[in-house]
Every structure is written in structure tokens, then in C-alpha cells.
Amino acid sequence: AQKVTQAQTEISVVEKEDVTLDCVYETRDTTYYLFWYKQPPSGELVFLIRRNSFDEQNEISGRYSWNFQKSTSSFNFTITASQVVDSAVYFCALRRYNTDKLIFGTGTRLQVFP
């Protein structure tokens, strides 16, 4: 069975703090894809990153970084020096190689206070 777990329901931080959002996934496939999406208050999910299972290199994009560890089936997302505009719900998702369907976690609501 495929499953994505985001154990943190809600996180609150003060601006400029670093914050890590956890994502743990379950799959028996050897080839799969992992994603992070951001859902701001406007409602539309915004794509942040896609990672395939053969690429365990960590990725950094500005203040955002992702740590993919197959040994622990985790794909964690860190925001450095958080800003109020980072306030949103963040979803981690899994896609099997031979399907086009995304399996989502339950999301983590991040609130960044000034």
C-alpha cells in the first residue's frame, strides 16, 4: 500500500526562525516520485519540488531545502529564515512510477507570525 504521513498538523513560528516540515512515505515500489506543494489562503496548490527515487541529492532553492532519505523513507522540507508569506498549508505527495495519480499526506499548516 502507498501512504504519505505528515505527522505535524500545525506549526507556529516567529519570523526568521527556521522550520522543518516532516514527510514520511510508504511504498514497495523501487521507482516513485515525491512532491511538495504549497497551498496559500487563496486555495490553489502551488508546485514546489519533484524528486524521483533514484536521486537522493538534497536540493536547495533560495530559503527552501529538501532532505530526501530513502533509508528512513522521509522527504523533509526546511524553510530557512521564515517569512509571513510562508504561511500556508504544505502537502507532501507520492506518485508511483506507472500511474499519474498523486497520493497526498494530510498536510501541515504553517503559521509564521511577525
Partner 1 sequence: DVKVTQSSRYLVKRTGEKVFLECVQDMDHENMFWYRQDPGLGLRLIYFSYDVKMKEKGDIPEGYSVSREKKERFSLILESASTNQTSMYLCASSFGTGARNTEAFFGQGTRLTVV
Residues within the interface to partner 1 (CB under 8 A): 6, 9, 33, 35, 37, 42-47, 50, 91, 95, 97-98, 100-102, 104-107
Tell me how far, at minimum, the Cβ of 114 lies from partner 1, in Å: 26
Q: Which is nearer to partner 1, 79 or 105 (CB)?
A: 105
Q: Which is nearer to partner 1, 61 or 98 (CB)?
A: 98
CA 31 – CA 44 distance, rounded (Å)? 28
Q: Which is nearer to partner 1, 1 or 85 (CB)?
A: 1
Phi, psi angles (nearest 5°) of residue 51: -135, 130
Tell me how far, at minimum, the Cβ of 16 lies from partner 1, in Å: 29
CA 104 – CA 101 distance, rounded (Å)? 10
Tell me the CA distances in angstroms from 90 to 15, 26, 85, 99, 111, one per residue in order.
17, 19, 13, 23, 11
CA 80 – CA 66 distance, rounded (Å)? 11
Tell me how far, at minimum, the Cβ of 4 lies from partner 1, in Å: 8
